[in-house]
Structure 1
Amino acid sequence: MLKRINQKNGEKLSVLGFGCMRFPGKAGGIDEPRAIAMIRDSIEKGVNYFDTAYIYHAGKSESLLGQALTGGYREKVRIATKLPPFMVRKMEDARRIFAKQLTRLQTGYIDYYLLHMLTDKHSYDRLAGLGVMTWLEELKAKGIVRNIGFSFHGRKADFELILKAYPWDFCQIQYNYMDENNQATKDGLKLAASMGIPVIVMEPLRGGRLVTHLPPEVKKAFSAYDKNRSPAEWALRWIWNHPEVNVVLSGMSDESQVEENIRIASDAAPNSLTEEELKVFDNVRQVLQEKTRIPCTACGYCMPCPAGVDIPGCFSHYNDKYLTNDKSVRLKYFQNLGAMSAKPAYASKCISCGKCEAHCPQSIAIRDRLKVVSREMEGVLYRPVVGIVRKFIKIK
């Protein structure tokens, strides 16, 4: 298992991290004996970074990980878990959640603690205003939290603002060969590295969709170069080729995935892909571009929208619907642009002012395309349900 140095604290972290949100299931829950065996097997083979969260597996992920790490395994690994911002309305909420996390994980400290799924600068500012960052610094001074970071799902501009808002110990971003220009983007990755901030990568396979939902043309492009290399291996090697990446998380749900990922992680060094291999990705991107309904590059020139629409985000979710045949894309659209965003940013908020179109380098008819996105991604009950959910979790 290759390791990369955390430039902030000197720790050697396995390049493969175990994402604890897709454990094998049984009877509607986690197959606990099997999941524990997978965790311990991965540790024996060199994995030392485990990423979980308060809400994963309906709150069962942390407890399962804590159980798996008994018997001497805890001392061999680094635990990363997360504070869910939408559940924090006052400081007492954060303290209560953190105390429960320590109990679930059967530990007295958290190695890497994240603000979970920040979508914009406002979401960070709200938590900071409540005193969360000051509290985390107090925990860090006591050694109860070792590293303070955040995970991000939003636009590049907000990622850069959040990066510069606090002296972070690390950050976590979605990054893969399809998202090179989405969310934090490659520029954001490089910015974090230039600031000395370690980067943990999540969704390297887009929840498996870069394995199971690829267009046939993409699979053909990969197999034409090396028929023995799976789409998963191509995707992981592409990310590990980036020297700016410290750890790549994989939500492994069966033993074969653990075995394959550990094999790949044994020799996936930075800058190890050849020019010919990189050209394969050029061919893949060409196929994907041809299947892309809206040619948005997520450059952000159209932003900010006067009505609050996250234009690149709307187009990204809509494109995913056709690129990967992802059945959960409408749910993600609902969460990321409506129910769990700091402010609603879905397509139907467009007021057709046209300001965005004057700045679009791709000359996209943004207003017309947003109507299409609204029609296909929202439906008549979208707005009222968003309102109900936001009121329930008290997002303002």
Structure 2
Amino acid sequence: MKYRVNPKNNDQLSILGFGCMRFPRDEKEVEKQIIYAIENGVNYFDTAYIYPNSEAVLGRVLAKGYRHRVKIATKLPPYLIKKYEDFDRIFDEELRRLQTDYIDYYFIHMLSDVNMWNRLIDIGVLRWIEEKKQKGQIINVGFSYHGGREDFIKIIDEYDWEFCMIQYNYLDENNQAGKTGLQYAAAKGLPVMVMEPLRGGKLVTNLPKEVYKIWEKAHIKRSPAEWAFHWIWNHPEVTVVLSGMNSMEMIQENINAASQAEANSFTEEDYEVFNKVGRILKEKIKVPCTACNYCMPCPMGVDIPTVFSCYNDVEIEGKLMGKIKYLVQTSLKTDASNASLCSKCRKCEIYCPQKIAIGDELEKTAKKMEGIFYKPARYFIKKFMKL
């Protein structure tokens, strides 16, 4: 197992983190998997309050003599915080589930814009965090992010964070926070944890046949998953890559890959493999947006790069997952940024290096992504989440 140093506190963290959202139902099998991972060097375990039974199962296993050997990361769900007392109610339950009296890495979960963070500030989150840190119950505080690049940078600058987590893989290099966000966070001295390295398995099981042929003919024999992990680990700004491992075979394969990975180790041949893959995948893309952000800001508030990213993702993620991602990233925010807000002023098109007819493409996106259930779903979810 290779390790990278957290520049904030010198923690030695395994470059492979165990994502605990997808545990198998058989708890005895889960215990075997967790212990095997620990014995083979994995020391970062990521769970969350909303992952069904995940915290409790992890807590029961670690209580058998393994707690001191690992770092636990879990998360506070902002949409369940209505008043100050909710912070302690949820946190205390997490400590009970995890059978511990402190959390090593505590996330504000699923921020999608800076207003979600500001709402928690209004309720008193800064005072609460300080109290927990003084008591030693929270060691490091950070946030996980699902949104566009601009708000990611705003959130980074809003608070003295100690780490963050973004979605990042070779398909999302220019999506969400993207490479720009990754480099910005690292330049601020933040360790960056990466989620969805395989897009929930889509980069292993849902790619064009031509892509698999490229992997097979590559100069190094690696599985599609290994190639995807090595691409991320090649970035020195990345500290930990999470994997939702739920079989012993998967754990063994990923640990083996993590024992060989190095930052800045890619050769020209490695990059050429991904260039070939990229050319094939770009043929599937509906809108050739590179998320350069030259079109921003939109006077109507449309987050143009994020909208097009979600629209393009339908080809990989499928219609349902694509629409869910669109709803989360553009609409479940204090200020929505979805495609139908476009007034077709076309000011953005003047600045687009790709010469995209942005107004026309936004209209197509709105028709595809905002069906008859879009507005009711957005209304009720936002009302529940107090956005």
TM-score range, shorter chain: over 0.9
Segment drifting more, 297-306 vs 275-284: 297-306
Distance 1:295 1:371 in 2: 16
Q: Is the 8 A contact 1:213 1:326 kept in 2?
A: no
Matched, 1:50 2:42: no
Alignment of 1:31-110 (within 5 A): 31-57=26-52, 60-110=53-103
SS in 1 for 2:354: coil
2:12 — aligned with what? 12
Q: Is the 8 A contact 1:307 1:350 kept in 2?
A: yes
Matched, 1:370 2:365: no
Q: Is the 8 A contact 1:292 1:323 kept in 2?
A: no
Q: Is the 8 A contact 1:303 1:356 kept in 2?
A: yes
Q: Is the 8 A contact 1:78 1:112 kept in 2?
A: yes
1:346 counterpart letter in structure 2: N
- The offset of 1:324, in angstroms, is 4.9
SS in 1 for 2:118: helix
- The offset of 1:73, in angstroms, is 0.9
Distance 2:299 2:23 in 1: 42
SS in 2 for 1:291: coil
Q: Is the 8 A contact 2:87 2:128 kept in 1?
A: no
Q: Is the 8 A contact 2:78 2:109 kept in 1?
A: yes
2:374 counterpart letter in structure 1: Y
Residue number among 280, 285, 294 corresponding to 2:278 in the alignment:
285
What is the CA deviation profile of residues 192-234 of structure 1, one whole-angstrom value per residue up to 9, with x for unaligned ones? 2222111111111111111111111222222211473111000
Distance 1:42 1:133 in 2: 35
1:287 counterpart letter in structure 2: I
Distance 1:131 1:304 in 2: 31
Segment drifting more, 352-361 vs 139-148: 352-361
SS in 2 for 1:56: coil
Distance 2:49 2:295 in 1: 35
SS in 2 for 1:50: strand
TM-score, length basis structure 1? 0.93
Q: Is the 8 A contact 2:219 2:269 kept in 1?
A: no
What is the CA deviation profile of residues 94-135 of structure 1, one whole-angstrom value per residue up to 9, with x for unaligned ones? 221111111111110000001111112222222223221221
Distance 1:253 1:226 in 2: 29
Q: 1:183 to 1:322 in 2, by over 3 A?
A: same
Q: Is the 8 A contact 1:307 1:351 kept in 2?
A: yes
5+ unaligned residues in a row in structure 2: which ranges?
none
Distance 2:318 2:222 in 1: 23
Distance 2:286 2:118 in 1: 35
- The offset of 1:306, in angstroms, is 3.0
Alignment of 1:102-251 (within 5 A): 102-226=95-219, 228-251=221-244
Distance 1:188 1:17 in 2: 21
Q: Is the 8 A contact 2:215 2:221 kept in 1?
A: no
1:18 counterpart letter in structure 2: F
What is the CA deviation profile of residues 327-356 of structure 1, one whole-angstrom value per residue up to 9, with x for unaligned ones? 522222223322x33333222232323233
Matched, 1:347 2:350: no
Q: Is the 8 A contact 2:202 2:316 kept in 1?
A: no
Alignment of 1:307-346 (within 5 A): 307-325=300-318, 327-338=320-331, 340-346=332-338
Q: 1:228 to 1:327 in 2, by over 3 A?
A: farther
Q: 1:325 to 1:383 in 2, by over 3 A?
A: closer
Distance 2:54 2:44 in 1: 15
- The offset of 1:169, in angstroms, is 0.9
Q: Is the 8 A contact 2:49 2:75 kept in 1?
A: yes
Q: Is the 8 A contact 1:309 1:346 kept in 2?
A: yes
2:50 counterpart letter in structure 1: I
1:391 — aligned with what? 383
Q: Is the 8 A contact 1:205 1:232 kept in 2?
A: yes
Segment drifting more, 141-150 vs 315-324: 315-324
Distance 1:133 1:234 in 2: 40
Distance 1:118 1:306 in 2: 23
What is the CA deviation profile of residues 233-270 of structure 1, one whole-angstrom value per residue up to 9, with x for unaligned ones? 00000111111111100011211111100010011011
1:336 counterpart letter in structure 2: Q
- The offset of 1:301, in angstroms, is 2.4
TM-score, length basis structure 2? 0.95
Q: Is the 8 A contact 1:119 1:342 kept in 2?
A: no
1:358 — aligned with what? 350
Q: 1:11 to 1:326 in 2, by over 3 A?
A: farther
Q: Is the 8 A contact 1:215 1:323 kept in 2?
A: no
Say what the alpha-carbon RMSD is for the aligned residues.
Answer: 1.6
